[in-house]
Chains A and B, each alone.
Chain A
Amino acid sequence: MSVLVNKDSRIIVQGFTGTEGTFHASQMIEYGTNVVGGVTPGKGGSQHLDRPVFNTVQDAVTATKANVSIIFVPPAFAADAIMEAADAGIAVIVCITEGIPVKDMIVAKEYLNGKNVRLIGPNCPGIITPNEAKVGIMPGFVFKKGRIGIVSKSGTLTYEAADQVVKAGMGVSTAIGIGGDPIIGTTTLEAVKLLMEDPETDGIVMIGEIGGNLEADAARWIKVNGTKPVVGFIAGQTAPPGRRMGHAGAIVGGAEDTAAAKMKIMGECGIHVVASPAIIGKTMAEVMNVTTA
């Protein structure tokens, strides 16, 4: 058991033969991830990284029984790629692409609505279940196997959290990078739920940032339904209102989506909120009663 991806996942790469797709697919394969093929329209029938290339996701699914797809398609075509994967029956779609127009994502999200499919991202680092599958662009060596789940909107901050958790004497069960765009497939709450239900996860690190109310929603759910300790951090405590901080979704719009407001709600819901990102690992160790080496 693990969350979303494991050693038995059969993974295809959309945008397989492009620069990004090639680089990260190689890294995933090197990590030991079960990459069974890829899709690049027009290159079907060829081989890439010793794996078959298909013209359509449907062809890839028929030939390889793939159930997970990771998308490296450029922003103008990425929403289309998400819908193609859903149409072909892929169960878990991980979209790495950054810069997809909101208008396209509104359509893609609606298309997925009601289908039995989970989208992670877009604009995310992906998912990793250490020692089993890396379906993303994160540095695999940072994520040592363990029993702490991580949910995060941010890429490098996820690596930071994983590194601290490992250095504090623990490890990672599954890390889910949900992405920093205004429209994403899986919310903080949904990702937290998956980890709460995962028997291989004992504690959860939840990392958010300014903008939107995903963290507040998750916190309120945790207050009622949480069964495992959660350590939380919100990036952007010093961000000025009205300015976009890198991520398209990272903008303070009203009083409710500031870091301070989110941290207050999280604290009231029983989450161990850290004000400094330097003590995520240390705090988790204290909460889990782990003695730091």
Chain B
Amino acid sequence: MNIHEYQGKSILKSYGVAIQEGIVAETSDEAVQAAKDLQAQTGTGWWVIKAQIHAGGRGKGGGVKLAKSLEDVKTTADQILGMTLVTPQTGPEGKLVRKVLIAQDVYYPGPEKTQEFYMSVLLNRQTGRNVIIYTTEGGMDIEEVAHNHPEKILNEEVDPRVGLQGFQARKIAYNLGLSGNANKEMVKFVMNLYKAYDAIDASQFEINPVLKTSDSKIIAVDAKVNLDENGLYRHADILAMRDVTEEDPTEVEAGEFNLNYVKLDGNIGCMVNGAGLAMATMDIIKHAGGEPANFLDVGGTADAARVEQAFRIILRDENVKAILINIFGGIVRCDRVAQGIVDAYKNMGSVRVPIIVRLQGTNAKEAKDIIDASGLRVKSVILLQEAADSVKEVLA
């Protein structure tokens, strides 16, 4: 699960991680009030207006702007709120901005030069351990750094038996070239950041940039916080931060019916049991000359109610020209699934596109008989290759 920057920062702060302070606003009037409150609280003279959407690269799309007066705050907030922000991560359709974060200006002048670093925490799948990845090259696209200067990306792995140790945090601080107070601040920053990561069942933290201010403070200027969905049952407070307006509404609805659905841009819908077979079915569609319109795993119980719901969800996508249902019946019997498909089809009255059903496994022949005898606009096949050929025919 993803959460907004302002939510991620509030979590980090609660674990003692120093952050760029800010107040979230949904209207330009709220933004002005937030700016005044923030001035009283932090003494900031300028403000940064940051669009709150679940995607990175916001600055590039014009979603992060500096305001030097309260009037500026109002006009800038007005401009950003309600805009459709297109960034390299949103896709061409962009995302509607519903909230802005009014944040303090942290690049104020002072005795020292400011410096930007990059830091992330995530699982190293090869070792099964968490790792802190960091570099002095902050504030820019980390993929670019990895490509151009791989030697500048350092990492520190955490031994799960003892957790992150102080010497590791010191190593990071020194490797980032920090001394004096900034060094101590960085040690504290790293220790608390990892403590937060571990405590909330996070799956990724990305802090870019981590800023050394002109008065040697170390603070998180941005915070990308992703959570491990399997661990969310332990964190009701974080689950409450879920913003469904940031998600595809159809995917949200599918989730309520325990259907695992991801919308894609293609023309052939699919309904499959099992995630691996679902991905393989998408690949089959591609090889047959189509493009998959979705990923949909109906899970182990493909009964009439679920099949009907899946039908409705797939058909909401107007690009869908045909639906391929691919069920490998193991524990779930194919004849039951076939009956479910027939019942769902009849319940819906009419389905506007042809349907190809491939049922294999337990009672596959009986299943084919049920489909063939139904008189519906449904083509029934048994082999995966036949399913691929049928997709080709539909597209021809």
Contacts and interface: CB of A to CB of B under 8 A. Distances in A.
A241 to B, nearest CB: 10
Contacts of B295: 239, 243, 245-246
Nearest to A141: B362
Given A139-B329, A159-B330, A183 B273 contact: no
Given A110-B161, A278-B385, A155 B274 contact: yes
A233 B128 contact: no
Contact of B384 (A100, A152, A242, A277): A277
Interface in A152-197: 152-160, 163-164, 180, 182-183
A109 B275 contact: no
Interface string B362-396: 10000000000000000000011101100000000
Interface stretch (A34-42, A50-58, A208-216): A208-216
Nearest to A244: B262
B286 interface: yes
B287 A276 contact: yes
A264 to B, nearest CB: 16
A239 B273 contact: no
B71 to A, nearest CB: 38
Interface stretch (B59-67, B107-115, B228-236, B316-324): B228-236
Given A101-B231, A138-B330, A183-B125, A160 B277 contact: yes
A247 interface: yes
Given A75-B230, A105-B128, A180-B275, A246 B282 contact: no
A207 interface: yes
Interface string B266-291: 10000011111111101111110001
Given A213-B126, A238-B282, A154 B274 contact: yes
Nearest to B232: A101
B335 interface: no
Contacts of B361: 139, 142, 159, 163
- Which among B125, B143, B161, B229 has the greatest number of chain A C-beta atoms within 10 A? B125
B128 A276 contact: no
A102 B360 contact: no
Given A142-B330, A160-B328, A278-B384, A183 B128 contact: yes
B249 interface: no
Interface in A88-121: 99-107, 109-110
A137 interface: yes
Given A103-B201, A236-B282, A238-B292, A248 B230 contact: yes
Contacts of A159: 328, 330, 361
Contacts of A279: 385
Interface size of A as a range: 35 or more
A153 B385 CA distance: 22
A2 interface: no
Contacts of B278: 245-246
B83 interface: no
B256 to A, nearest CB: 17
A182 B279 contact: no
A11 B295 CA distance: 36
Contacts, number: 168
Contacts of B123: 102, 106, 182-183
B198 interface: yes
Contacts of A233: 280
B161 A101 contact: no
A235 interface: yes
Interface residues of B, number: 54
Given A155-B274, A276-B287, A160 B279 contact: no
A206 interface: no
Contacts of A238: 264, 266, 279, 282-283, 285-286, 291-292
A157 B274 contact: yes
Contacts of B277: 154-157, 160, 235
Contacts of B279: 154, 209-210, 235-236, 238-239, 245-246, 250
A98 to B, nearest CB: 9
A249 interface: yes
A288 interface: no
Given A142-B361, A154-B276, A246 B291 contact: no
Interface in B98-120: none
A102 B230 contact: yes
Contacts of A138: 330
Given A157-B274, A278-B385, A110 B128 contact: yes
B129 interface: yes
A102 B292 contact: no
B269 to A, nearest CB: 13
Nearest to B385: A278
A287 interface: no
B297 A235 contact: no
A107 B203 contact: no
Contact of B280 (A103, A137, A160, A183): A160
B118 to A, nearest CB: 16
Considering residues A139, A212, A242, which has the most beta carbons from chain B within 10 angstroms of its beta carbon?
Answer: A139
A57 to B, nearest CB: 22
A99 B383 CA distance: 31
A237 B160 contact: no
Most chain A C-beta atoms within 10 Å of own C-beta, residue among B89, B130, B297, B385: B385
A76 B234 CA distance: 9
Interface of B: 89, 123, 125-126, 128-130, 143, 160-161, 198, 201, 203, 228-231, 233-234, 260, 262, 264, 266, 272-280, 282-287, 291-292, 295, 297, 328-331, 360-362, 383-385, 387-388
Given A233-B280, A245-B295, 18 more contacts: A76-B233, A101-B230, A102-B228, A107-B160, A142-B330, A154-B279, A156-B274, A156-B330, A157-B276, A157-B280, A160-B328, A209-B276, A235-B277, A238-B285, A244-B262, A245-B262, A275-B287, A278-B385
18 contacts: A23-B331, A75-B230, A99-B230, A103-B231, A104-B231, A139-B329, A139-B361, A152-B276, A155-B277, A157-B277, A160-B384, A182-B123, A213-B125, A245-B275, A246-B279, A246-B295, A254-B143, A276-B284
Cβ-closest 5 pairs across A and B: A154-B276, A246-B275, A156-B274, A139-B330, A101-B231
